[in-house]
Amino acid sequence: MELITILNRCHRFRGFVYHQARFTSDHKSIEISVRPRKRSPAICSRCHQPAPGYDQLPERRFEFIPLWGFFVFLLYAMRRVDCRRCGAVVVEEVPWGDGKRTLTRAYMLFLARWARRLSWKETAEAFRTSWEKVFDAVEHVVTWGLEHRVLGQIDAIGVDEIQYAKGHKYLTLVYQIDIGITRLLWIGKERTIESFQGFFTAMGKDVISKIVFVCSDMWEPYLKLIRENCSEALHILDRFHIVANMNKALDQVRSEETGRMKREGRAPVLKKSRWLLLRHSENLGDEQHFRLRDLLRYNLKTVRAYLLKEAFQQLWEYSSPAWAGKFLDEWCRQTMRSRIEPMKKIARSLRNHRELILNYFRAQKLLSSGVVEGLNNKAKVTMRKSYGFRTYRVLELALYHSLGKLPEPESTHDFF
Ligand SMILES: [Zn+2]
């Protein structure tokens, strides 16, 4: 069986024939020459219609999927057409590649699929190619996917941000969090109002106006934009962010108090208590439980703040918005009397966003923002994998590639 027989089986294109396959002189690569089928006119790459030939360019090498450790190249001399429709001499369109890249579409899809499972660096090493070529492949597949994806009806979105480099470099991520489909919809560079506005523009009024639920944290500019753009949607404050803010407040109380006790020369009972206090009490081991119980006997601000935080967890157990509201009001009342400023700040903020928090219960907890948290964790894993260069463009591609559930270019055969 010949190589050309196999190629005709899995990578055959109308209008072209495989002519000959041979080794290069160093026996490291296989080159297969491709020719236009007789009487098969070239297709203009601008208007995609057949057009009369004009001349032929020098032979080009298109890199194909390597075979048994050999590099494989298709050799083809592109024709130029004198297209009357376009009124210009234009290079022809070839179905296995595009005008700019040296990789065939099949190889790009192949590399991109591996690059979803391995890091880009590992993919490049596994197929003895360069990181840049993997980048090209992913870029091609993601660009195609974004152009061809169907947004359809989007019921629920979650908005979050993620730090991608030191020095307050944030990305804004918007996910679709419908029951049946969760995917990354949009990435905004930086966490700004302008960047977030870009999401509403990109999705279009038609899609945006039909959104029913929005989950987001309490960053005021986001809330404002969501109110403006999705006035009909039920806005749900992100449970995860409320808990995270409360942990931050508790941590602040603890570190202030630790400092004060040290200055006053008191026993360092709060030493190494950080994780004890920040972790869910159910997640503590036996020894940690004893230490926590010990700690709770002290009349410390930190202890009182911890108890307030733990008491707050009960909120999520409610199913009726009315009872949840009563609980929330009571918790805020107690906290405002606590004389613990960071916790009072939380209570004030919760009071200001009372309705948004209760929307969580109105949505019957269906859209717990745990979904957003899960997606964000996946995003962080994607970022952590080594991508060679931590530029915005690389991250954008990697995130869309792994979380966007984008459609893939059609291929004549599943090589992978
Ligand atoms: Zn044309």
- Cα–Cα distance between 382 and 376 in angstroms, integer? 10
38 CA to centre of ligand 1 in angstroms: 21
57 CA to centre of ligand 1 in angstroms: 17
pLDDT confidence bin for 161, thresholds 50/70/90? confident
User: What are the Cα distances from residue 5, in Å, to 14, 16, 130, 273, 371?
Assistant: 15, 14, 29, 70, 49
47 CA to centre of ligand 1 in angstroms: 4
Residues 413 and 11 sit within 8 Å (Cβ to Cβ): yes
Task: Quote the pLDDT of residue 368.
Answer: 57
DSSP summary character for residue 300:
-
Task: Quote the pLDDT of residue 96.
Answer: 94
* Residue 203: pLDDT over 80: yes
Pick from 76-90, 147-161, 162-176, 214-228: least confident: 214-228
178 CA to centre of ligand 1 in angstroms: 43
Q: Which two tokens stand for residue 312?
A: 């707050």
Q: Which two tokens stand for residue 59?
A: 């032979």
Pick from 166-180, 192-206, 227-241: least confident: 227-241
Residues 56 and 33 sit within 8 Å (Cβ to Cβ): no
- Cα–Cα distance between 296 and 277 in angstroms, integer? 10
78 CA to centre of ligand 1 in angstroms: 15
* Residue 189: pLDDT over 80: yes
53 CA to centre of ligand 1 in angstroms: 12
CA angle 235–241–246, rounded 5-degree value: 130
- Cα–Cα distance between 59 and 385 in angstroms, integer? 38
- Cα–Cα distance between 356 and 324 in angstroms, integer? 12
- DSSP, collapsed to helix, strand or coil, labels residue 163 as strand
Q: Which two tokens stand for residue 348?
A: 């004030």
Residue 121: Cβ within 10 Å count: 15
% the chain with pLDDT above 70: 96
Q: What residues does 361 pair with on adjacent strands?
A: none
Phi then psi dihedrals of residue 188, to 5 deg: -115, 135
Q: Which two tokens stand for residue 374?
A: 């899960």
pLDDT confidence bin for 65, thresholds 50/70/90? very high
50 CA to centre of ligand 1 in angstroms: 8
Q: Which residues contact 278 (CB under 8 A, 6 or more apart)?
A: 247, 250, 251
% the chain with pLDDT above 90: 48
15 CA to centre of ligand 1 in angstroms: 18
86 CA to centre of ligand 1 in angstroms: 4
Give the DSSP per-residue string, 91-133.
EBP-TTS-SS-SB-HHHHHHHHHHHHHS-HHHHHHHTT--HHH
Residue 179: Cβ within 10 Å count: 10
19 CA to centre of ligand 1 in angstroms: 27
Q: Which of 267, 268, 226, 217 is nearest to 245 (CA)?
A: 217
- Cα–Cα distance between 77 and 63 in angstroms, integer? 14
Pick from 261-265, 267-271, 366-370: least confident: 366-370
Task: Quote the pLDDT of residue 185.
Answer: 95
Phi then psi dihedrals of residue 297, to 5 deg: -75, -20
- Cα–Cα distance between 220 and 191 in angstroms, integer? 12
17 CA to centre of ligand 1 in angstroms: 23
Pick from 82-86, 211-215, 280-284: least confident: 280-284
94 CA to centre of ligand 1 in angstroms: 14
Residues 91 and 99 sit within 8 Å (Cβ to Cβ): yes
Average pLDDT, the chain: 87
Residues 363 and 236 sit within 8 Å (Cβ to Cβ): yes
pTM summary value: 0.75
140 CA to centre of ligand 1 in angstroms: 23
44 CA to centre of ligand 1 in angstroms: 5
- Cα–Cα distance between 13 and 19 in angstroms, integer? 13
Q: Which two tokens stand for residue 267?
A: 């026993």
pLDDT confidence bin for 64, thresholds 50/70/90? very high
- Token look-up 């390597």 returns 66
Q: Which residues contact 75 (CB under 8 A, 6 or more apart)?
A: 31, 32, 33, 34, 59, 60, 61, 62
41 CA to centre of ligand 1 in angstroms: 13
Task: Quote the pLDDT of residue 191.
Answer: 78
Between 294 and 313, whose confidence is greater? 313
